Structure 1
């Protein structure tokens, strides 16, 4: 199992937003989070990625298996496209950036400073970092923001290849990426109710594995 989430309760700004969330994510599987704005999709993704502690429940994943892509592209503006990817490849110890450049159609932009790119180009570069992590579990928060139709199709192609290669993906997106493998998890039924886990009572009550 790539990812196992059990009875998870999470908070945003000290206030519980979701509770009782459980799901499994297997190799080759994509799970799409759905729900109204403010329901807690981003908070859930951040918790699964290990960026904040749960109020209760467990997130179980292999060590160093999760790659997280948030709203921010996390680029270094004064480095070129290639230098940005080499930086992350060095961090993750994967080395070769050629597949990432080719996979997101960045080869013509390899020597351009990241700070001079358009919003869509920056987004493609941010997503290309996923390919240099070497990690099998992609946790994605609205990955298609700022992408045009052609770039959305390019991302969907890369995502399908990732799944076909035994990777998995947990994502929040309103875009239909045409993934036959994708399942939907509606979060509205998991809204926290009064009397549920209280952030002030047990901030670090949950656990990661």
Structure 2
């Protein structure tokens, strides 16, 4: 029998309300190294809200989040997690290189150096370009480069395929695949049909968590 690692991230009985409406309740799941979790649901079902709770941007109305068996707030959870949302999270007045150096100064070094990461996301040669001069797709690629140069076990991605062409979408799938194969974990929302034939892909449909 295959021995499964214990869940590193555990969400227990999470509950959230918006105005007078319950977005989700009784939401529980675990995520182990090497796993990818896709959050699905109709518009307004609470996908982005759940990600914001997982990132600590918003408090849940009930339930707990554990990291390596400890409450998230009492563990290294927030240092081990990286978030890429709808906004690209970059400083528009700085160059590509300055943005990545700034991100690296706030985190532990990751698997790739800056030059390697830019090459990986196909932004080589854009080092000195101000971010405000980049296209929406290039800004999204820069956000991905930030993930590669910093050491974060858990990636939380809100619609990461937005503004990307087919090549860019394939790039993100490859990066997520590599991250999970190396023991990382990914939680994301997406309307893109994901296929990870060699990885453990979980799905949670929030419309069923009322």
C-alpha distance in structure 2 between counterparts of 1:16 and 1:58, whole Å: 17
Alignment partner, residue 89 of structure 1: 104
What is the CA-CA distance between 1:105 and the residue it aligns to? 1.0
Find the partner of 1:147 among 134, 155, 164.
Answer: 164
User: How many residues of Structure 1 are paired with residues of Structure 2 in the alignment?
Assistant: 191
1:110 aligns with 2:116: no
SS at the partner of 1:108?
A: coil
C-alpha distance in structure 1 between counterparts of 2:102 and 2:178, whole Å: 24
Find the partner of 1:70 among 56, 64, 85.
Answer: 85
Find the partner of 1:9 among 3, 8, 15.
Answer: 15
What is the CA-CA distance between 1:188 and the residue it aligns to? 0.7
C-alpha distance in structure 2 between counterparts of 1:122 and 1:12, whole Å: 31
1:158 aligns with 2:164: no
Q: TM-score, normalised by structure 2?
A: 0.86
**1:2–1:26 contact (8 Å) kept in structure 2:** yes
In structure 2, relative to structure 1, the CA distance for the partners of 1:109 and 1:6 (3 Å cut) is: same
Task: Name structure 2 gaps, 5 residues minimum.
Answer: 1-6, 68-74
Q: Cα RMSD between the aligned structures?
A: 1.5
Moved runs in structure 1, 4+ residues, more than 4 A?
none
**1:10–1:47 contact (8 Å) kept in structure 2:** no
Find the partner of 2:51 among 22, 39, 45.
Answer: 45
SS at the partner of 1:92?
A: coil
1:35 aligns with 2:41: yes
